[in-house]
Amino acid sequence: MEDQQIVALYFERVEDAILETKNKYGKILVGISYGILRLMEDAKECENDTYLKTWNSIPPMRPKMFLSFLAKVIRNISLDRYDYLHAKKRGEGEIPVLLDELAECLAMKETTLDETGLTEVIDQFLGALRPEARIIFMRRYWFGDSIQEIAKKMNCGESKVKMTLSRLRLQLKGVLEREGYLVLCQDLVQIKMRGSTG
């Protein structure tokens, strides 16, 4: 079923909208959530919460890009769940690793953050990358894939993925410095994951 037809079912308040959404995008949504949480049971709960939030949001919202809308919803729900699960301890999922990797893009805590401008700078940075490099960056820092998962999906060695990510982080750091952004890596990940779809 086409996305527009599924969205129309939400507007008509036909509960099959949820079933059609699950059939078409369920695996992708669980994959996004699992990339953040690394717990399948929690990822499934976030998937169900995504369907509920979607049901409550459409109408009045009419997303132009339905999958992007769903991905943003489940990312936000998963990040909230991650924050809840790891409020008092550092977790075993990929988020702490991602934050450590992006540490070279950060500077002082006193920085005042212009989230809209920063999102635009990151989007421009991503848009200028070669497709392969952009996919590797997005798989790591948007979907939260491990190095091993990216290497398998990209049909290349782990060392190539690591080297590509290292170079991209240095490039991003240079771009952020040129644009006058001194950001905390926590802010960077949260803005990119909760904000633009890149």
Q: Where does a domain end: 63, 85, 107?
A: 85
* Co-location of 70 and 109 in the same domain: no
Domain match, 29 and 115 both: no
Tokens 């005042």, residue located: 112
* Number of other residues whose CB lies within 10 A of the CB of residue 122: 23
How many CB atoms within 10 Å of residue 133? 16
Reply yes or no on whether the pLDDT at 134 is more than 50: yes
Are 48 and 98 part of one and the same domain?
Answer: no
Query: Is residue 74 located within the same domain as residue 164?
Result: no
Highest mean pLDDT among 13-22, 133-142, 147-156: 13-22
User: Residue range 83-106: average pLDDT?
Assistant: 61
Closest by CA to 73, choosing from 116, 32, 19, is 32
- Torsion angle, alpha carbons of 82, 85, 91, 93, to 10: -40
* CB burial of residue 178 (10 Å; 0-12, 13-18, 19+): exposed
Q: What domain range includes position 109?
A: 94-194
Which of 50, 66, 85 is the last residue before a domain boundary?
Answer: 85
Residues 13 and 59 in one domain: yes
Residue 97: partners with Cβ closer than 8 Å, 6 or more residues away: none
pLDDT, tens digit, for every residue of 30-49?
999 988 888 899 999 999 99
Regarding whether 182 and 152 lie in a shared domain, the answer is yes
Residues 65 and 99 in one domain: no
Q: Would you report the helix, strand and coil content of the chain in percent, each value rounded to 5?
A: 75, 0, 25
Position 120 confidence tier, pLDDT thresholds 50, 70, 90: confident
The token pair at 168 is: 């991209």
- At 26, the pLDDT band (50, 70, 90 cuts) reads very high
Angle at which helix 66-85 crosses helix 3-11, to 10 degrees, equals 70
**Max CA-CA distance within the chain?**
50
Comparing 65-69, 164-168, 177-181, 187-191, which segment has the lowest mean pLDDT? 187-191
146-178 pLDDT, tens digit each: 899 899 989 999 999 999 999 998 898 888 888
Spatial separation of the C-alpha atoms in residues 52 and 94, rounded to whole Å:
26
**How many structural domains is the chain composed of?**
2
The answer on 160 and 112 residing in a single domain is yes
State the CB neighbour count (10 A cutoff) for residue 33.
29
Give 106's DSSP letter.
Answer: B
Looking from the CA of 155 toward its CB, the CA atoms found within 13 Å total 0
My answer on whether 50 and 101 are in the same domain is no
Domain boundary at 85, 116, 150, which? 85
Q: Residue 50's domain is classified under what CATH number? A: 1.10.1740.10
